[in-house]
Amino acid sequence: MHFLLPLLVALFASDATAKICRNLTVAVNIEARQGVFSIPDLQGNLDATAFAQRLTSNHGNYTEDALDGYQTVEGTYNISTTFCQPDTNASGTTVQVLSHGIGYDKTYWDIRYENGNYSYVDVAVDEYGYSTVAIDRFGIGNSSHGHPLNLIQAPAEISALHEITKLLRNGSFPTVPTAFKNIITVGHSFGSIQVYTLSALDPSAQDALILTGFSGDTAYLPATIAAWNLHLARLNQPSRFGSARPRTTPSRFDRPVNLYTLLAQSLRGAGLSDSEVQQELTTTELANLLAGSNATSTTSDSAAAAPQDLPAGYLTWPDFSANQYTFFYPGAFDLGLGLQIEATKQPVTTGELLTLASFPGSTGFAGPVQVVTGEKDAIFCGGDCYAVGAGSSASNIPAEVAPAFPNASVFEAYVQPNTGHAINAHYNATGAYHAVQRFLGANGFGAS
């Protein structure tokens, strides 16, 4: 009988589990009291620059200056989600809800690139047995879009997250009949701010919190917004965020335009060398102009490639250099992945930018909390999470969040080495994923 043992081990070792996922659009009822802002119209890129100038001005608080009053927004909107569970098809009693940061969508948690070393979902589901629900935040990606100034703001997005947790709790999440006992929410950056704020609004909505790419230090936000050099999303990536679609009516003289070939030819014609042409087309705003254009030119009228046609108040950084400055630590990421992320990025709204820093100073949340931030995070640590201010007794900047959680059962600040803000896109992303799952397991929130 014992001769079977090596065979069984070999079978299990090679029979890697594979998660079962489905994309689900979930209708949620949003209700949020939020700001009514009035700002000068955004018509072109320079208006976006002027907006960023006012936002970062030393003059005062632009959120306050632009505020005309408050209103309650209500309505039913779609949240685009991906639900995953282990291939045993057992959803268990514990689910992790994943909420992305600015510039990303729900795919941040399951990045497909080369060696497959970037998927948070693969680790949480396949290696630790959790179910996961990754959401596109309200207003972003394939979730409903809306007025970028007065609808798509932090409070409405938090309301959407809250509804998702309630549906999972009461067994009403579409196609998933389980009434989950434990809801763990995992945020990144602006997603973490929303998870944190929800824990103050309704301390029992979530059972454990993982706040990645986060600290309580907002001192570096102006530098971040300046580095973003904001442009209108629809001008930056017309094929994804605008309404640009090449003419596809074939005629003898008129073939669909391949923008890539056209630009490459023009640049060569202007005297650039092949390697300069290559750099222009991959690392500058020309790469953004090209993003999505193959898809729109080769897929006539397919919804799959439909441009988002976003209003002018949806903004983005112009190219990978601004993305790198704020999200990546040089030497610790694969440039090919960085460029893929730039080409598939998502925008940020004026309403989000005016409301993202208005979060409460503390929360009554009583479960376990882990803050996980990259050692070199530019946005929440100014590039060095160990550079605590004089007079601070904390060992790092994320650890300074502890007093905001006076009632937490456990608080841990975890600094992920050699990593920038976008933890999931750095070489050692899986190292951070294991640190999170170990924390959850050690504090009573294992998968079942």
Ligand X SMILES: *[C@@H]1O[C@H](CO)[C@@H](O)[C@H](O)[C@H]1NC(C)=O
Q: Is 428 in the site for ligand X (CB under 6 A)?
A: yes
Question: Looking at 45, 248, 299, 362, which residue binds ligand X (CB under 6 A)?
Answer: 362
- Rg from Cα positions in the chain: 23
Q: Which two tokens stand for residue 407?
A: 């009632």
Question: What are the angstrom distances between the C-alpha of 414 and each of 209, 327, 393, 394?
Answer: 13, 18, 16, 12
Find the binding residues for ligand X in span 5-34 (CB under 6 A).
Answer: 20-23, 25
Stretch that binds ligand X, among 92-100, 191-199, 220-228, 258-266 (CB under 6 A): 258-266
Q: Is there a contact between 203 and 369 (Cβ–Cβ < 8 Å)?
A: no
- Output the smallest distance, CB 2 to ligand X, in A: 31
Which listed residue (14, 58, 261, 393) binds ligand X by CB under 6 A?
A: 261
Q: Does residue number 358 form part of the binding site for ligand X (CB under 6 A)?
A: yes
Q: How many CB atoms lie within 10 A of CB 179?
A: 13
Q: Does 294 bind ligand X (CB under 6 A)?
A: yes
Residue 166: which H helix or E strand, with range? Answer: helix 154-169
**Long-range contacts (CB closer than 8 Å, 24 or more residues apart) made by 355-361:** 355/34, 355/35, 355/63, 355/153, 355/154, 355/155, 356/154, 356/190, 356/193, 356/221, 357/63, 357/218, 357/221, 358/63, 358/154, 359/154, 359/193, 359/196, 359/197, 359/200, 360/197, 360/200, 361/404
Closest CA to 422 of 352, 350, 322, 288: 322
CB distance 28 to 77 below 8 Å: yes
Candidates 2-10, 39-47, 431-439, 440-448; binding stretch for ligand X (CB under 6 A): 431-439
- The answer to whether 424 contacts ligand X (rule: CB under 6 A) is no
According to CB under 6 A, which one of 407, 438, 441, 444 is a site residue for ligand X? 407
Pairing of strands 182-188, 208-212: parallel
Minimal distance, residue 115 CB to ligand X, in Å: 3
Contacts with ligand X by CB under 6 A: the residue count is 45
Both tokens of residue 110?
Answer: 């399951």
Q: Is residue 69 a contact point for ligand X (CB under 6 A)?
A: no
Nearer to ligand X, 343 or 388 (CB): 343
Q: Phi and psi for 17 in degrees, rounded to 5?
A: -70, 155
The CB-of-44 to ligand X minimum distance in angstroms stands at 27
The answer to whether 115 contacts ligand X (rule: CB under 6 A) is yes
For the CB of residue 424, give the shortest distance to ligand X in the complex, in Å.
13
Here's the x/- map for ligand X, 146-165, by CB under 6 A: it reads as -----------------x--
The only residue of 178, 256, 435, 443 in contact with ligand X, by rule CB under 6 A? 435
Which amino acid is located at 186 in the chain?
Answer: V
User: Per rule CB under 6 A, is residue 229 in the interface with ligand X?
Assistant: no
Dist. CA 221–CA 63, nearest whole Å: 14
Q: How far is the CB of 444 from ligand X (least distance, A)?
A: 19
Distance of alpha carbon 325 from alpha carbon 46, whole angstroms: 21
In the complex, the smallest distance separating the C-beta of residue 261 from ligand X, rounded to whole angstroms, is: 5
**CA–CA distance, 391 with 400 (Å, rounded to integer):** 12
Tokens of 79: 């949240």
Among the residue ranges 4-12, 271-279, 318-326, 426-434, the one whose residues contact ligand X (CB under 6 A): 426-434
Provide the minimum distance between the beta carbon of 417 and ligand X in the complex, in angstroms, as a whole number. Answer: 4
Reported as half-sphere exposure (CB side, CA atoms, 13 A), residue 163 has a value of 24
Q: Which of 45, 78, 284, 340 binds ligand X (CB under 6 A)?
A: 78
Roughly what angle, to the nearest 10 degrees, separates helices 259-269 and 274-283?
140
Interface positions, 83-102, toward ligand X (CB under 6 A): 89
Q: Does 275 engage in binding with ligand X (CB under 6 A)?
A: no
Position 418 contacts ligand X (CB under 6 A): yes
Among 81, 91, 99, 117, binds ligand X (CB under 6 A): 117
Q: Mark residues 165-194: x for contact with ligand X by CB under 6 A, - for none.
A: -xx--x-x----------------------
The rounded Cα 126 to chain-centroid distance in angstroms is 22
The CB-of-106 to ligand X minimum distance in angstroms stands at 6
Q: Which CB, 107 or 236, lies closer to ligand X?
A: 107
Stretch that binds ligand X, among 50-58, 141-149, 180-188, 209-217 (CB under 6 A): 141-149
Least Cβ distance, residue 388 to ligand X (angstroms): 20
Specify whether the CB–CB gap between 328 and 422 falls below 8 A: yes
Is 80 one of the binding residues for ligand X (CB under 6 A)? yes
What is the 8-class DSSP label of residue 119? Answer: B
Q: Which residues bind ligand X (CB under 6 A)?
A: 20-23, 25, 61, 63-64, 67, 77-78, 80, 82, 89, 105, 107, 115, 117, 141-142, 144, 163, 166-167, 170, 172, 258, 260-261, 294, 303-304, 358, 362, 364, 406-407, 416-418, 428, 430-432, 435
